[in-house]
Structure 1
């Protein structure tokens, strides 16, 4: 695993990352087809918290833009970025592979199949929530498949987990591609492809709460098991010698991380590389201790995805680029650099 001795005091790093997140949130809300002054953005937010905190000197339409259009999207970006980053860090410890990321388990591909089925076949059983519900159901089905394939003799080894996840992801990606190619409707094909590339357009408040709850609770659990995660970094034999039931712990954490990923992907589509890049950047800053690294990873991941989404929706206005393209353009070169660094 990558990591080095921390060069900066931990409180300073957390403070800087919190300031970075605050700046990213401000920019994400202020920028758009109608630009808003940062001071006005915070004035609107303060007024909504309590009317005494700010005098409403802005047009009502601007308050609607902030509270009903941009703020839900920015918050969902923060939730998705933090969740993918935390899951990536946990997975890299669980499988002891620094190149592991949330897409490794095949859960994302399962969610993609569920979402593509809704788009291609026009399923509307759950109304506006049909797509996220189907995506989560697909993610859950993929989770069960990988879990069953990875277990052998009541145990789940790292090699079997990785192989089962990769194989399941490839098969499900092929299924999703087949459904898109044979849909025969260009509009449906385009909608499915845009979802597969990841995006957060059209986010509303009801969509935010479920993934936010899953990420907060999941991160809290991961923080609670920081010590066993640290033990895994030393190797399975060392962790077992120190009293950790490695196979049971890995199976339980695998389920937790997969459910978190399924919940996230159900509302955001497949957004790659976030869970790969952010853990490594944090380890370079403060080391590999999960008690310190997990909060920092969540803050950095949230800031990164807000910035990527801002870039995606303002680069060629009024068109919007799927945010997964932006994260891939950033993550691909980083992946290659990481491979070269490890080969040395």
Structure 2
């Protein structure tokens, strides 16, 4: 516990220690909630599997001695080969989108910034679909993710350049630029699907553009998982610089930050994470908008706290969104991107209304 000396020489505790304990306990609670959510994701579905059997299958697969298996081979296949990659992809994708949204909001100093709203996901989708339609394989199995990364980066740079006028970016201009560019990119994507000769692939891609976690297996899960883990680590290292940007570009430059170079590096990193996630799960919107704002209500604005908390909260949120997508209308499966949009759309409207009200109050003052 940190403290300061009184004139009598005694140490008194500062609030820092009191703040760290709730933050650490909050991370532990979120981690346990994520484990419980993953367990629920493995257990729930058209075939219900008790939680005890789920953990028995998992520990048995990891090599632990299990007295006697009281589950069928079919159930083990459902849990370990069908549900497990899907649930883990949901946790990884939710965590990745949440931290990308957190970092974007700091980089462009806009509370409405989010990969889906800014057209970054649309750019990644167009890049990935182009690879599928034209059959390009310049990077082998990484071609899809590579093209999605290039599309995401191109869209992000274009939106930022379009929205920036006289060195400033307003919330309205940024959102309008993102919506306009996303509309153009989506139109090009639809044109590709309509003109392609691969009818079966076009239908599969059309379903993928709604966002979903069903097309993953153990052989493809490693890439998004590695991208998100490395991305979170890199963002945590740069959390101090993200904090500096909250005070404005001039203040950050005064503190020794090369804003242009730092922003360019971060754009590349965030585009890489977004591209890999879109290639794996399709464009899933509003996770990067909602979770950072919710997390800041509890841990404040310091990115050293916001980033890990948002990652865990994003994983929990998307795992439960996928559970709902699989169970609400069973046997019909709802694309998880549809459910996140149903949650995120009203949240976006609330943010717009809140910011407009704050602007009016400042104008009156």
Task: Give your verdict on TM over 0.5.
Answer: yes
Q: Write the distance in 1 (CA, Å) between the matches of 2:48 and 2:195.
A: 42
In the alignment, does 2:167 pair up with 1:133?
Answer: no
Closer, same or farther in 2 for the Cα pair 1:144/1:80, shift >3 Å? same
Return the offset for 1:276: 0.4
1:100-249 alignment runs, 5 A limit: 100-117=113-130, 123=135, 133-134=143-144, 136-144=146-154, 146-147=156-157, 159=169, 162=174, 168-183=181-196, 188-249=201-262
Count of aligned pairs = 333
Higher mean C-alpha displacement, 83-92 vs 189-198: 189-198
Question: What displacement does 1:182 show?
Answer: 4.3
Distance 1:52 1:192, change over 3 A: closer
DSSP-derived class of the 2:333 partner = coil
> Structure 1's 85 and 109: CA in aligned 2 closer, same or farther, altered over 3 A?
same
**What TM-score do you get using the length of structure 2 for normalisation?**
0.82
Calculate the TM-score normalised by the size of structure 1.
0.87
CA distance, structure 2, for counterparts of residue 51 and residue 322 of structure 1: 36
After superposition, the CA RMSD in angstroms is 3.0
Cα gap change, 1:34 to 1:157, in 2 (>3 Å): farther
Residue of structure 1 in register with 2:57 after alignment: 44
Where does residue 32 of structure 1 map in the other structure? Answer: 45
Answering whether residue 278 of structure 2 is matched by residue 292 of structure 1, we say no
Paired position in structure 2 for 1:3:
none
2:262 is the counterpart of 1:252 = no
Shift of 1:337: 1.7
Q: CA deviation at 1:181?
A: 4.0
For 1:339 and 1:157, how far apart are their aligned partners in 2?
23
Q: Deviations over 1:18-68 (max 9, x none)?
A: 122112101100011110001111111122223226642322222222111
Q: 1:23 to 1:241 in 2, by over 3 A?
A: same
Asked if the contact 2:290/2:344 (under 8 Å) is kept, the reply is yes
Q: Which runs of 5 or more residues in structure 2 are unaligned?
A: 1-18, 358-365
Q: Distance in 1 between the 2:250 and 2:30 partners? A: 35
